Amino acid sequence: MGGYSSEVKRKTISADQAAELVKSRHWVDYGFGVAQPDLFDKALAARITKLEGVKLRGCLAMRPRAVVAADPEGRHLTYLSWYFSGLERALHDQGLCHHIPMNFGEAPDYYRRFNDVDVAVLKTAPIDEHGFFNFGLSVTYHKALTEKAKIVVVETDANMPYVYGVENGVHISEVAHVIDGGQSPLPELKNTAAGPIEQKVAALIAPHIEDGACIQIGIGAMPNAVCDLLADSSIKDLGVHTEMFVDSLMKLYETGKVTGAHKRFNRYQMSYCFAAGSTRMYQFLDRNSACFAGPVDYTNLPGNIMQNDRVVAICNAAQIDLSGQACSESAGIRQISGTGGQLQFMRGAYASRGGKAFLCLSSTYERDGRRESRIVPRIADSNIVTTPRTDVMYVVTEYGLVNLKGKSVPERARALISIAHPDFREELERAAREYRLLCRTNF
């Protein structure tokens, strides 16, 4: 604690006392991912039925939120999320969680310009010798959040990694109260194992990644399968500039494939704004000079992404139509996740010198016992377009890889039909002609 022990002692209160700070009609913010509070959450749950009109913001919750469970009919609390985890998706299905659309890289600006915050409660590392509580695994928009909040409370956890970077902590002078959270296991995110489809997609992408490329990968088995393939290849001197740091990036670094020697932005370091994965990965990030954690407007703005050469962005899509517009966050009116950083990385990667942006999807999915095509003539009613057709570059399924940049609508339709599941190609072509996406001749 250095010379700050007396101030920490003076500001330390119990979780129950901290929960008393929340009043009716307050905006409360739990922050992002692993950094959401647990002791405070339970304490607020114990008194939420005494309050009215409380609005709670979160993002990518990795543990069930006790305060939401304590108000199962949503009479006292409205819970909102910037990006759904599986837990928040389930709450949304029950009518207990609402989505806030955003481009992730703009989140700090939203807080500084538009969002009211009465009480912000964040899980952090314990205070360091300079008086800072490090944001650890969730730098994201937390600095902007602490600037805007009327009351800032930190719930410390000795297991939270201490990360190097910028805007990665809040000083004791800006903190109203401290909850001593002791030391408890942090929530982990298990990576889905890659199956045959993911491995085929990865095998199509990997040859397009050159020595010295700077990679970004998203959540899911497909992007992680690419890392696994690269780890076993002869590639060298990769860089990393990503939104989310995951286990496969750590493993790629440990194989010696990542040096960052050709990066222009944070050269020799792997840049990211949040991490979620295994405990071993959390330990890897702790005080690791090879890693650089910055706010999401540092990692995700296209103007920063494009400063590195040969950026390769690898993201997932759930549905794409024959003109090229892609849905990655919803199934009709059902919100699945969020826009996150996909659109900004698609744009930043393409704008970089020699950059490439990939959207990956399996050709089909199962619904109500029927197999359906993810490549469709037109976007399903009420589905949300995450990436406009003008921003889509490479599209990859297990049946092939096509580049849509510079292609006309008929050329796009032909290209996408060629990588659809064979059982659906005739149907897609018939629909494309019906919608006049295909001409009678030439294409």
Q: Which helix (H) or strand (E) holds 59?
A: strand 54-59
Q: How many residues does the chain have?
A: 443
Which residue out of 88, 243, 398, 429 is catalytically annotated?
243
Q: Return d(Cα 2, Cα 253) in angstroms, integer.
A: 34
Q: How far is CA 344 from CA 106, 303, 357, in A?
A: 10, 9, 11
The burial class, CB within 10 Å (0-12 / 13-18 / 19+), for 89 is: middle
CB-based burial of residue 111 (10 Å sphere; 0-12 exposed, 13-18 middle, 19+ buried)? buried
Q: Which two tokens stand for residue 105?
A: 């890289």
* Token pair 């990385």 in the structure block, residue: 345
Extract the tokens encoding 6.
């007396």
Contact by Cβ (8 Å): 401, 205: yes
**Which residues, 6 or more positions from 368, have their beta carbon under 8 angstroms from its beta carbon?**
none
Question: Which phi and psi (to 5°) does residue 310 adopt?
Answer: 50, 45
Report the chain's C-alpha Rg in angstroms: 23
243 annotated active-site: yes
Extended strands (E) in 82-147: 98-99, 119-124, 132-134
Kindly list the catalytic residues: 243
